[in-house]
Structure formats: C-alpha cells, structure tokens
Amino acid sequence: MDPECSRLLPALCAVLVDPRQPVADDTCLEKLLDWFKTVTEAGPSLLLLQENPCLVELLFRVLKAHDPRPRVLSFSLRLAGLFAAQEDCFQYLQVTPSSSVSQQGELLPMLFGESGPLGGAAWTAPTVRSGWLQGLRSLAQHPGALRFLADCGAVDTIFSLQGDSSLFVASAAGQLLVHILALAMRGPAEGHPSPQGCDWPACAQKIVCHVEDSLRSTATLQVTQALNVLTTTFGHCHSPWTQGLWVRLSPLVACLLEKDPIPASHSLVDLLLSVARSPVGSSDCGLWETLAQTLSHLSPTQAGPLALGILKLQDCPQALKTQAFGVLLQPLACVLKAAAQAPGPPGFPEGATGDSITVDTFLSSKSACVGLLCQALAHLELLQLLPQRPSPWPQAPLLRAAVAILRFCHGSAAPTSDVGGHLCAVLAGCVRVQRAALDFLGTLSQGTGSEEGLPGHTQVAPGLPQGPQLLRPGPPHPAVPRRYPWPLQELLPVLRKRLCSPCWEARDSGLEFLTQVTRHWGGQAAFRHALLASEVPELTGQLLRDPESYVRASAVTATGQLSSWGLYATPTGPEHPEVQQESLFTELLHILSTDSEGFPRRAVMHVFTQWLKDGHADVAEDLEQFVARVLQAASQDLDWEVRAQGLELALVFLEQLLGQPGSRCPYAVALPEAAPPATLAQVLQALCRVQLFEFALRALFDCDRPVAQKSCDLLLFLKAKATPCGGPQEAGASPDVVSVEAALQRWQAGEQGQPLGELEPEAVMAVLRSMDLEGLRGMLAKSSDHMEKSPQSLLQDMLATVGVLGENEADCY
Amino acid sequence: MPEIRVTPLGAGQDVGRSCILVSIGGKNVMLDCGMHMGFSDDRRFPDFSYITRNGRLTDFLDCVIISHFHLDHCGALPYFSEMVGYDGPIYMTQPTQAICPILLEDYRKIAVDKKGEANFFTSQMIKDCMKKVVAVHLHQTVQVDDELEIKAYYAGHVLGAAMFQIKVGSESVVYTGDYNMTPDRHLGAAWIDKCRPNLLITESTYATTIRDSKRCRERDFLKKVHETVERGGKVLIPVFALGRAQELCILLETFWERMDLKAPIYFSTGLTEKANHYYKLFIPWTNQKIRKTFVQRNMFEFKHIKAFDRAFADSPGPMVRSGLRGPARLGPCLQVVFATPGMLHAGQSLQIFRKWAGSERNMVIMPGYCVQGTVGHKILSGQRKLEMEGRQVLEVKMQVEYMSFSAHADAKGIMQLVGQAEPENVLLVHGEAKKMEFLKQKIEQEFRVSCYMPANGETVTLSTSPSIPVGISLGLLKREMAQGLLPDAKKPRLLHGTLIMKDSNFRLVSSEQALKELGLAEHQLRFTCRVHLHDTRKEQETALRVYSHLKSVLKDHCVQHLPDGSVTVESILIQAAAHSEDPSTKVLLVSWTYQDEELGSYLTSLLKKGLPQAS
C-alpha cells in the first residue's frame, strides 16, 4: 500500500466508526472496497493487516457499536471477507487479538456468526444482509472457509435469504450457494462422485438436499429458487461432479412437468437449456426426452424461448430440432391459415400446421395474441441469422406470413375464417406487431433463401414507410433489401413525402435511408436515373437549413454521399439565390464555420474526410486549398469532436503524402518505411502551407484529452516517417526553434489565443525531435481525472468532508 | 386479490439514480431510467438484469416513463434502449423530449473526453433513443394500450418536469418524480388533482427540512457575484448546460439590468442558444409571470449574457486581441463566466478554474451537488491544495462558495401534495433512509395511510380491492328517474337489476330486458308451506277467520279475501282445506314468491301460532 494512504487510513477508520460523522457520499465506501480489492489481490492481506492495525480495530469497533450504521456495517462485512479470502489472513482473523486490550475475540465468527449482526436490529437493513452475503462470498475460497461456514451455521441462513424481500439479497444468496457447492466439491470430492451423494462432502450434501426439498415443494417461489441455483450451477461449473448432480436431480425436475400448470416454467426452461449447453447435456440421452416433453407441455408463449434455445444448441437430435422449429412456426402457420382464401397447408414443414392450442392463445385476449406473434417473429428473426438455423429454411411461407401479418395490421386483409376475423380486429393498427413484422421482413430479405416470395414482398413494400408510427430509429429499415431492388417509382415519392414531414424523426430517418440506399445503389443506372428525375436531391439540399440540428447533420451526410456519386446538384431554388452559384464544398464549409450546433459540424468533417479518402472532385481540384480551409475552420471549433475529426482529416492527408502508418502487409510491394528526403522536404513545405503544424501543435495542449491524444499520434507518425531519413537540418542549416518553442510553452500554459505565424519546416521538425511525444502519449492515455480517482485522493476526500458535509449533503440534481 | 408491486432498482433509500418498476393490473411500467454520476463503471446504471431475466425486455415492459431531464432520471435511457435492447414506447413531456438529448450529449462528451470510454452510448444511440419517445401534454390522458393509460401533471422542479398518473382499470399509481411546491423565478408550483390513487410514489429529498426562502439564497448569490466584480475579480459558475443555468441567467440578467452593470456575462460552449431557444419555445411551461410578460419581453432573451469564445479565458484585462474566428478582433475582459461541466471534472470549466484558482480576488460559485472524485467535490470540502498531473500542486486561493438552488419540495411541500392527491398508500423514494423514516411516521400519523420506503431491490406489494365498472341500461335508469329520484354523485344509492356479464363487460339491466336479451323464458318460483289448524268449522269460515286475523295484524299490507275463498296478502296466497283424515283440523296452504320471502315466512310463523278465539 502507498505510504501516503497508509498514513491516512487510521484517521479514516476513526471517522467510519464515529456515529457523529456522516459517511461522505454513498459511492465512497464502494470505491474504498474497490481499492481494498485491488490491494488484497496484489499482495498478502496478512501483511496489510499487520502493518495497518487500524483495519482490524475498525472491524472490532463496528461490531461493538450499539447502533451501527447499516452502510458502515455492510462495508465492514465485505471488507472482512476480502481479507479472509487468503487462508493465512483468514486464520489470523479467526482468533484476532485487537491492539486494544479491551477488544479481543474471534473476529470472523463475531461478524458472520449468530452473535453478530445476524441477530441484531441492523439485520433488517437489506444492505447489511447483502454485505453479509458478499463478505462470505469473498471469504469462501479455501477449505478452512467451508469448515467455518459449517460451524457458524451460515448455510442455513443463506437458505432463508434465498426468499429475501430484496431481489438483490435473494439473488446473491442463490449465487453464494452455487459458489459454496462448487468449493465443497473441489479437491477431494472432484471426480465422479456417486449420484446418491454418500461420498459427497457434508456441506455439498446439505445444499443438494435443500435443493431437492425445494423442488418437491408446492410453493412456486421455492421451486424457482432451486431451479435458479441449478441453472447457475450448470452454467458455471463444468466439472464431472455436475453429471452426478443431474442424474440425482433430473427425476425431480421431470416430476415438475407432470404438474398442471407447470410451476416456474420460465426458470425450468432456463435450467434445461443450461444443462443442455453444459457437458452434462452431451452425455445424457434422457435430457433430450425431457426437452421434447417440456416443449409439448408448455404453452406456446412459454415454449418459444425453449424452442429457440434448442435450435441454438450445437449437438442435438434432429427430431428435437424439428419439433422445436415447429413450435416457433406455429403462430405464423396459424396466421397463414387464417389469411388463406382457400383451404390448404401453409407450406411449412410438418408439425407446423397452426394447432388448436396456438389458435386458442390467439383468441384468448388481445395482449396474448400480440405477445405471441411478436415473440415468434423476434425468435425467427434471431434464428435466421444463425449458422445453425434449420435447413431447408422455409423462406417463401415465412415471407407470406410476414406479409399477411402486415396486411392484418394495415386492415387490408380479407379473412374468411373466424380466426382471421379475430386477427383483423386485434391487429388492426397494432404498431408493435407491425414493427416486429417489419424487422422480420428486413432480416428475411438479407437471407440466402430462394427468391420466391418476391412478389408478396414488393406488394407490401410501398405501404410500409408511410405512417409516422412506422418510423424506425437509426439506420433505414433493414426491410430495404440489398438483394431485391424496390420499385423506385413508388419508393421515391414516399421518400419525398417523408423528407417534407413535419416530424423531425421522419425527415431524419428519410435522410438516413437515402444515405444508405445511395451507398448501395449509387452506381446503378436505374437508380441514378430515377433519383435525378425526382425532387429528392433538391429537397435534401434544402434540409441543410432545417431548424432541427439532427436533421441538418443527416442532410450533410446525405448530400455528401449523393455528391460522391455525382448525384447532387446545388439547389437553385428562387428562395436561396445567394447559394445558387456555390459548390457543395463551400456550402458545407459554411455550415462548418457557422452552425451553432455540433452535430452538423461533425457531420461536415466526416464528409470531408471521406471525400479526401475517395479523392472527390471538389477535393482533387485544389487539394492543399481544401485541406487548409477545412483545418482552419476545424481548429477554431468549440466542439472538441470537430477538432478531433480535423486531426483525423489531417492524418488522412499525411498518409496520402507519406504512405500508410505501419503498413507491413507481407504481400504488398515493399515500400520504404520512411519517405525519401527530397519528398519529405516538399511534404513538410506543404504541411506548413496548409497550417497543419500549427493546428496539430496547438491541439497537443488542448484541454480536451482526445484532441491532444489524436494530435500526439499524428505527430508521432510524422516523426517516425521523417526521422530515419535524417532530416533537412542535416543539410547544414540550423533552424530557428526559439519562436516555436516559445509558442508551445504559451499553449502549454493554456494561452490558446496566441498565433504562431509563419513556420519553418526545419524548426518544427527540430522541435518535434526534441519533444518527448511518447511520454506525452503515455500521460494522455490515462484518464483526465486519474489523479482525482486515485485511492489517495479518495481518502483525502472522505476525510475532508468531515464537518463540512452538513450544509451540502441534502442537495442533488 | 389484485395487487400493485413496486420495486426500486434505484432511488430506493438513496438519491442516486432513479429507476422504479411498477406492476399494476398485469402491466409493467418503468418510472425513470437514471444514471449515477458518482460511478464510472457499470454501477452508474441500474442493474437491469433483474428485468432481462424475465425474457424479452420489450415483451415484459409495457412502457418507460421519464419524469424530467436530469441525468439521474434519464441518463441510462440510451443505454437501456440501444444497448440493453428495450424497444417499446418511452413517454415524457415535450420540453423533456427536447432537452434530454442535449444533456445526454453533453454528458457523453464528458465521459468520452475524460476517460476515453469506449463502452458508452454514442451520439447516434442518443438520437435513435429519442426517436422512440412519445411526447405527452399536461393533463392529457394517453392510452398506452387498451388497458394502460397515463396522464401528466405539472411538477415545477425544472422545465418540463411532470408527475405521472398510471392507471389500469380502476387501479392507479401516481409517481411524482422530483417536484417543487413553491414557485420559483421561472417555474410554477407542482399541482395535482384529488385523484385518490391507490399509491402515491413521492420523492423525499428534503424529507426533514423546512427550506428557507429561496429569495435569501438568491440575494446572497447576487451579492457575492457583484462584490467580486466590483473589486475587479472574476467569477466562475460551473453548471450543466441546462436547467439551473437558465435560472441563474435570469437572476443575473435581472440584477445587471437593475444595477445597470456593464461587465458582460459569458456562457461557455455555445449551448445557450439552443437552451434558450427551448426555454422560449416552452413558455407555457414556465410560471405565470413569465407567461404574462413574454409578449413584451421574453425573459430568455438575455441582453447581458453572451456566448463564450475559447480565447477569452486568456484575457488578462479589458480589450485584448483575440485570434479566433475570422479576422483578429478585440475581445472583452472576462469577468463572469458560466462554464460546463458543473462538477469541475473536465473540459472548459476545469480549464478556466485552473487559470483563475491562484488569485484571491476571483471566486468560484458551485450552484449544485458534486460527486466524489471531482475537483468540485474537493474544493467544496475545503481542500485548497490540489494535486495535478506530474506532481504539480494547484493552490486554490480563489474564494469557493456553495449555493444550493436545488428545487425540491421540502417536508411541508410533500405533506401538502399527499393532502392534495389523497392516496390510499404512500411510498417514499429518492431520499435518505433516516430522513424517510421520520417523514414516514409523519405521513402515517397525519393522513392515516400506510407509508412504505423500500430499499433498492426490495418489493412492496399492495393488495387492492378492485372496483369493477358496470354499465347501467337506459331503461333501468329511466325507471329510477320515474320514481322521482334524480341521480346525485354525492349520494350513492342501491339499484336493483340483473347483472349481465358478457365479453368481459358488465351491465346492469332490468330483469325484463335481461330475459329479452338472453332469450330466456320467465319462470315464477313460489315457496309453499302447510299450516295445520285445529278448527272444526268449514273451510270457508276458517278462511274468513284467517282474513280477519291478518287484516287486524297486517295493517300496512293489502289483505284481500277473494271470491273463491282464498286470502291474499301482497303475492302471498292462503287457501284453507279440510284434512283428509281429521275433520277437526284444517290445512292452510300458504304460497308466496321469492320477492315476498320475508313476509311469507312471517305469515307462516304467525299462522302457526293459531287464530285468535272468536269473541
């Protein structure tokens, strides 16, 4: 431990046990424990306790306090657990003489035994119960701890805490049981113990018997607790003993399936899947039968997650997979059946014919129907993306089903059956189902299935993006397929309508959609023709002046993308005569220099960087002029992300002049690591002309760390490229570095306003060589508040708040 | 028995990050989704694993409601919707919807700036999250689905802050979020109608405090700023972009105007424009005074407060050269600066603080709470030597002042709100355990209702007795009206009819209508009883004696002697017959309908006692 921390610790411990001193901040004790955890993990805890007797003193005094504060008590329990994780320290705390004569005794039993907080008034506070469990969790690392747990009767308390009123405590109790079970089975018991458990350690035997009792219980809560413990066990422990455990418990689990209704079905599904994923699964044939049985016993809604889980399993009998897939398809089969004009099979594999149980669920209530459909669609969507999805994949009927659902939602279905009529009534205008169906349709369109079903898809497509309720956040809806071109003559009017929408969300999503579509199809003649004939590019240009900054930013990105494909013409509308003759570059530069919001300015920088990478016509016209103007605007920006992006652009420019950093591709033509001197001199001149040096050097001392970091990287790259070849200074000239160094010092002191003026490349390179950029990079890699976050700072803060807390404590945002 | 369950994942006995789960009428609602600014790891967000274990999040949760834009109430929202995967609706008021992304963006930038955190939500995520938001108007009932409805009430606290009523059928819960019962410089007081919810979930930040007048605090603040400016010092006020900053701006603007001060006030990072734009846009959410006067002069159009340029921080005195933005120009001297972030933990405010900390003439005023691990926290706790990077020590000589502008209801205000809403139960959140304990007792004593204060993770379960709404047929109502009894909301009364339960609907109709609707035939049910009387006279005479007897006893009832010799009392029919085996005994056959069951039983018992002897 740091000597300064060691020095502060006694005072802090004194504050913690003083009931008159409020504990500073509710995060302080947590952070203190974080620190003790790193300290105890890094070295011997015993030494730590011996060198800092105040810690043991603290534990004693908290125990002896009449009315201990729950938070401090909880902290002490957790702290003691951290120390006792090491066996020698555990022994030490078992019989610890305190430095104070009046305080002696067995510290750990006093903390965790029945004479401790367990029986006191403080136990009513959940934080104390939680601290007790977490303390034991840390402590239970060695055989000595097991004996201790048995002696102090802790396991029985943990059993009772499984049903605690606090979710956090109950969950921690369950996890602690798993941890103790695993610890008990470690060592001598490891191997293949008999399922009967006669050779199991007493502690493990006790826990397993408790789980058995709980599984037999008629109370669902207890069954749930037992199932959760087992799920965690099979999820985390993969030793051979878990096989014995499953052999012993599987009959009890199977018994649950015979009850009606099946208790704790959700937890049961979790357990069965956890076992199936563990090594136990591959060796137990009975498990597949149990899974099949469970699938058929559960209601359609409950069976869905199990079916998906089964289909995700790597090794699983084909028959079970078919059954599981059938379960997932049932709801869609029902929909197809209900939507069918003429009777006939829905076209799904056998087993998915729209059974009566699913129909009953559909008919039972609106929420059940909506819930089941959304779940089925979400599960199938997930499944479609997996490599182990069933084959053949019923692409066509799935497409038909998704379209049928959308028709029901849209109100355009003409059902002939009762179920169809019911679905019509329930799904009409249901946004949730519409969204789920759209998501599913999007995923289906990305699939590798056959192209059949395309007609249905395109028929429904024009109707999709109209209502504002169908707005999808983020990128354009994946229902826009890459493989199936949309009917453009129908799509573009819809897009146009959305770009004119009064909702910013609609305009923004429309622009994001346009960007995405252009990225994919910008080179296709049909698309280019249709787009240029539409008003969409012009509207996009107008949205550069949208009142909403999100929209302006998306418009910048969209025009940038359009322009890259030669699809953007500057707006010539009569209402904006002033920008008639301007190029898009000028317009975007204007946004970069004047927009009051960060989003559009950042978007402009992204577009410019991309243009530079792609060699956009506006850039290629006068590269230096382009870079100079952009860097000048970026360097003055108040938003650090714009400045950082400016450095990104500068780096691209450098790379283009000097070659990629660290390109070591073995198949590439061997390029010189550093640029040849003649080229370098020209490059440096160019960098001076675009004022890249001033920008980068100023950024090196930027108050926003990412900017400084980026600048450091850039200058290091430049230094690496320039140094091996010697440099211009070796030609004999001795550069004047004084003015550069003076400016750097001013910037370092935070005086950003002073300009540097004309720069000599040689002087800059000389300064760069003399600077410890690696050291600076190391410093910047630390968080900007690492000093404030240090343990020393934490201790100082906690001590400093003593006495001054009263006036500020109640305040908050 | 139906029940309401409440589980705080945050704000249970703490003032960290608000996140409360409510289950009501089978619906699950999340109230607020806040972030704890004191942590920089996963602990800053509520532990959502307790919800995700219930299967797909969007299936489990019906909606999320955000009470206001402070990060401890909305900061985890993009994480929850874009990273954890909630895809359902999010409700908040319009000002909250507008301001929330600005604050989230501000915080994201600080988090990334400070620590280079990669595992934090991005700008795109904030935008995508905001697209899932449904804006609600005050007092507008929003139907989340067929059964769940929500309604917003004005909460004061900050612009757009709202309390929400969540209602499923006849059960309801009100969640206050943070609120303020006293109007301040730009906002009005919280208000709710007498909605008598089953449960009121209220914040309790100042559970034990009766707060002094805000005016005094404001006077102090202005005095300190003025004195510093007068002696040529500089004043730094670290704030978050929105909220308190605007309140302080109004305060200083008015004071500057009144005192005719010339020193300009600057606001860093250019956020003022957008912030003030929103404050202008949402004038209806401000207090009456601002609403009344905004036509002549909008309070948020500041004359003295200007956008801040980075170069200004260097200015040693008035009129210096500033090299930023376009051609070189003369820049004014900086004297009063609002800079973000509010806890002096990074960026602009920290940079200015470092420059100005060395002079006794300068002053920093912290108008809000600072978490541990920030420079703001250090200087507030009195530390004057701050260790900086590279073993440098920054000596803080400038004056450090703390000024609480936190706008929460105090103990009196909380009691007032409970009195207004008249809830059946109260649940306290967003406060410290000890203080809550005190308020809990006070509420229980004064209002005679149960009060709960669960810790995070603890579930409070309340049984509710549901009242089931029943529709009454027009016919039945008309019949009641015909009896001259006009309906009166204050005087509930009994109404008889037939209850029809069909398609989860309940209707009370007249029995005739019920028969007609259900296509049922009417059957009369009569009770019969035989009473043996010792009477040697003829049957007709016995009947006559019975008639006379009943006529004398039942004076209020209509007793008739029919020509066929039988006697009727209302629907009760009595016939006398001879005993087949004993001629001295007569048998009285008594029958009555179920409507006259009481009278029938009484008559039988009366007859069983025998007839009075003829005089």
pLDDT tens by residue, B169-183: 889 999 999 999 988
Q: What's the pLDDT score for residue A734?
A: 62
Maximum C-alpha span of chain A? 95
Task: Answer yes or no: do A800 and B382 touch at CB < 8 A.
Answer: yes
Put simply, the chain A residues between 621 and 640 with a CB less than 8 A from any chain B CB are 636, 638, 640
More confident residue, A544 or A760: A544
CB contacts of A67 in chain B (<8 Å) are none
Q: Please list, in sequence order, all residues whose beta carbon lies within 8 angstroms of the beta carbon of residue B309, skipping any fewer than 6 positions away.
A: A638, B322, B324, B325, B331
Q: What's the pLDDT score for residue A199?
A: 76
Q: What's the pLDDT score for residue B434?
A: 85
Task: Answer yes or no: do B346 and A165 touch at CB < 8 A.
Answer: no
Burial class (CB in 10 A: 0-12, 13-18, 19+), A574: exposed
> What region does B196 belong to: left with phi over 0, alpha with psi -120 to 50, or beta?
left
Token code pair at residue A486: 């949309």
Task: Answer yes or no: do A794 and B124 touch at CB < 8 A.
Answer: no
Task: Answer yes or no: do A125 and B345 touch at CB < 8 A.
Answer: no
Report d(CA A529, CA A128) in Å as an integer.
71
Q: What's the pLDDT score for residue A677?
A: 57
The mean pLDDT of A759-787, rounded to a whole number, is: 83
CB contacts of A166 in chain B (<8 Å) are 455-459
Report d(CA A338, CA A418) in Å as an integer.
8
Is residue A707 within 8 Å of residue A640, measured between CB atoms? yes
- Closest Cβ–Cβ partner in B88, B323, B371 for A27: B371
Q: What's the pLDDT score for residue A292?
A: 93
Chain B, nearest residue to A378 by Cα: B56
What DSSP state is assigned to residue B44?
G
CB contact, 8 Å: A503 with chain B?
Answer: no
Q: Helix crossing, A126-139 with A154-161: angle to 10°?
A: 130
The residues of B carrying an active-site annotation are 203
Report d(CA B243, CA B266) in Å as an integer.
16
Q: Which of B508, B487, B488 is nearest to B499 (CA)?
A: B508
Burial class (CB in 10 A: 0-12, 13-18, 19+), B130: buried
pLDDT at B373 over 60: yes
Task: Answer yes or no: do A25 and B38 touch at CB < 8 A.
Answer: yes
Q: H or E stretch including A705?
A: helix A705-722
CA distances (Å), origin B475, targets B483, B492, B512, B513, B517: 13, 19, 10, 8, 13
Chain B, nearest residue to A503 by Cα: B131
The mean pLDDT of A199-225, rounded to a whole number, is: 92
> What region does A498 belong to: left with phi over 0, alpha with psi -120 to 50, or beta?
alpha
Nearest CA of chain A to the CA of B455: how many Å? Answer: 7
Report d(CA A172, CA B47) in Å as an integer.
13
Token code pair at residue B333: 């001297």
Task: Answer yes or no: do A811 and B368 touch at CB < 8 A.
Answer: yes
Q: What's the pLDDT score for residue A674?
A: 54
Per DSSP, which regions of B13-73 are E strands?
19-24, 27-31, 63-65
- Closest Cβ–Cβ partner in B55, B374, B456 for A788: B374
CB contact, 8 Å: B113 with chain A?
Answer: yes
- Closest Cβ–Cβ partner in A26, A166, A787 for B457: A166
The mean pLDDT of A444-451, rounded to a whole number, is: 55
* Residue B202 phi, psi (nearest 5): -120, 145
Task: Answer yes or no: do B378 and A550 touch at CB < 8 A.
Answer: no
Nearest CA of chain B to the CA of A504: how many Å? Answer: 9
CA distances (Å), origin A358, targets A324, A327, A587: 14, 9, 59
Count CA atoms within 13 Å of residue A217 on its CB side.
Answer: 17
pLDDT at A83 over 80: yes
CB contact, 8 Å: A33 with chain B?
Answer: no
pLDDT (tens digit, 9 = 90+) per residue, A396-443? 889 888 888 988 887 877 777 888 888 888 888 887 888 888 888 878
CB contact, 8 Å: A513 with chain B?
Answer: no
Chain A, nearest residue to B391 by Cα: A787
Q: H or E stretch including B201?
A: strand B199-203
First to last CA, chain B: 64
- Closest Cβ–Cβ partner in B113, B309, B373 for A706: B113
CB contacts of B205 in chain A (<8 Å) are 810, 812
Mutate to test the interface with A, among B41, B83, B112, B113 (most CBs of A within 10 A): B113
More confident residue, B570 or A272: A272
Is residue A33 within 8 Å of residue A75, measured between CB atoms? yes
Token code pair at residue B136: 């609600």
Q: Which of A565, A664, A666, A578 is nearest to A607 (CA)?
A: A565
Q: Is the backbone peptide bond immediately before A349 cis, with ω within 30 degrees of 0?
A: no
Q: Which of B168, B164, B165, B166 is nearest to B178 (CA)?
A: B164
Put simply, the chain B residues between 326 and 345 with a CB less than 8 A from any chain A CB are 345
Q: Please list, in sequence order, all residues whose beta carbon lies within 8 angstroms of the beta carbon of residue B297, skipping any fewer than 6 positions away.
A: none
Q: What's the pLDDT score for residue A200?
A: 84
CB contact, 8 Å: B134 with chain A?
Answer: no
Task: Answer yes or no: do B243 and A813 touch at CB < 8 A.
Answer: yes
Is residue A107 within 8 Å of residue A142, measured between CB atoms? no
CB contacts of A127 in chain B (<8 Å) are 455
Report d(CA A27, CA A38) in Å as an integer.
17
Q: Say what the ipTM of the complex is.
A: 0.85
Q: Give the bridge partners for A97, in sequence order.
A: A104
Token code pair at residue B307: 């956008």
CB contact, 8 Å: A101 with chain B?
Answer: no
Chain B, nearest residue to A364 by Cα: B503
Nearest CA of chain A to the CA of B198: how many Å? Answer: 21
CB contacts of A596 in chain B (<8 Å) are 270, 273-274
CA distances (Å), origin A528, targets A165, A519, A533, A571: 64, 12, 8, 18
Q: What's the pLDDT score for residue A808?
A: 45
- Closest Cβ–Cβ partner in B132, B243, B383 for A473: B132
More confident residue, B466 or A698: A698
CB contacts of A302 in chain B (<8 Å) are none
Of A133-142, A722-731, B606-615, give the lowest mean pLDDT range.
A722-731
Put simply, the chain B residues between 548 and 607 with a CB less than 8 A from any chain A CB are none
Q: Sign of torsion, CA A169 A171 A175 A178?
A: positive
Q: What's the pLDDT score for residue A485?
A: 47
Q: Is the backbone peptide bond immediately before B95 cis, with ω within 30 degrees of 0?
A: no
pLDDT (tens digit, 9 = 90+) per residue, A542-585? 999 999 999 999 999 999 999 999 998 765 544 554 444 468 99
Report d(CA A438, CA A432) in Å as an integer.
10
* Residue B336 phi, psi (nearest 5): -125, 120
Of A16-30, A371-385, B458-472, B478-492, give the lowest mean pLDDT range.
B478-492
pLDDT at A5 over 80: yes
Token code pair at residue A46: 């015993």
Q: What's the pLDDT score for residue B326?
A: 31
Report d(CA B417, CA B601) in Å as an integer.
55
Token code pair at residue B131: 């697209």
Q: How many CB atoms lie within 10 A of CB B548?
A: 16
The overall average pLDDT reported for chain B is: 85
Token code pair at residue A492: 């573009």
Token code pair at residue A639: 């938003």
- Closest Cβ–Cβ partner in B124, B240, B351 for A703: B351
Q: How many beta-carbon contacts under 8 Å exist across A and B?
A: 204
pLDDT (tens digit, 9 = 90+) per residue, B3-58? 999 999 999 998 889 999 999 998 999 999 999 988 888 889 999 988 877 677 87
pLDDT (tens digit, 9 = 90+) per residue, A675-690? 555 578 888 888 888 9
Put simply, the chain B residues between 226 and 255 with a CB less than 8 A from any chain A CB are 240, 243
CB contact, 8 Å: A806 with chain B?
Answer: no
Q: Is the backbone peptide bond immediately before A261 cis, with ω within 30 degrees of 0?
A: yes
Q: Helix crossing, A28-42 with A791-800: angle to 10°?
A: 140
Q: Which of B336, A665, B6, A606 is nearest to A614 (CA)?
A: A606
The overall average pLDDT reported for chain A is: 82
Report d(CA A13, CA A418) in Å as an integer.
74
Is residue A196 within 8 Å of residue A166, measured between CB atoms? no
CA distances (Å), origin B487, targets B471, B480, B482, B490: 15, 9, 11, 9
Is residue B453 within 8 Å of residue B428, measured between CB atoms? yes
Place of tokens 């066509």: A396
For strand B148-154 and strand B162-168, is the pairing parallel, antiparallel, or unpaired?
antiparallel
Chain A, nearest residue to B37 by Cα: A27
Token code pair at residue A202: 């007493």
CB contacts of B16 in chain A (<8 Å) are 26
Q: How many CB atoms lie within 10 A of CB A615?
A: 10
Task: Answer yes or no: do B205 and A785 touch at CB < 8 A.
Answer: no
- Closest Cβ–Cβ partner in B372, B382, B383 for A25: B372
CB contact, 8 Å: B122 with chain A?
Answer: no
Put simply, the chain A residues between 430 and 459 with a CB less than 8 A from any chain B CB are 432, 435
- Closest Cβ–Cβ partner in A305, A752, A787 for B388: A787
> Cα–chain-centroid distance for residue B218?
30
pLDDT at B405 over 80: no
Q: Mapping DSSP to helix (H, G, I), strand (E, B) and coil, where does residue A541 land?
A: helix
Residue B53 is which amino acid?
R
Q: What's the pLDDT score for residue B40?
A: 82
pLDDT at A160 over 90: yes
Chain A, nearest residue to B73 by Cα: A813
Q: Which of B605, B208, B247, B212 is nearest to B443 (CA)?
A: B208
Token code pair at residue B219: 């006077």
DSSP, residue by residue, B209-233: --PPPHHHHHHHHHHHHHHHHHTT-
Put simply, the chain B residues between 191 and 210 with a CB less than 8 A from any chain A CB are 205-206, 209
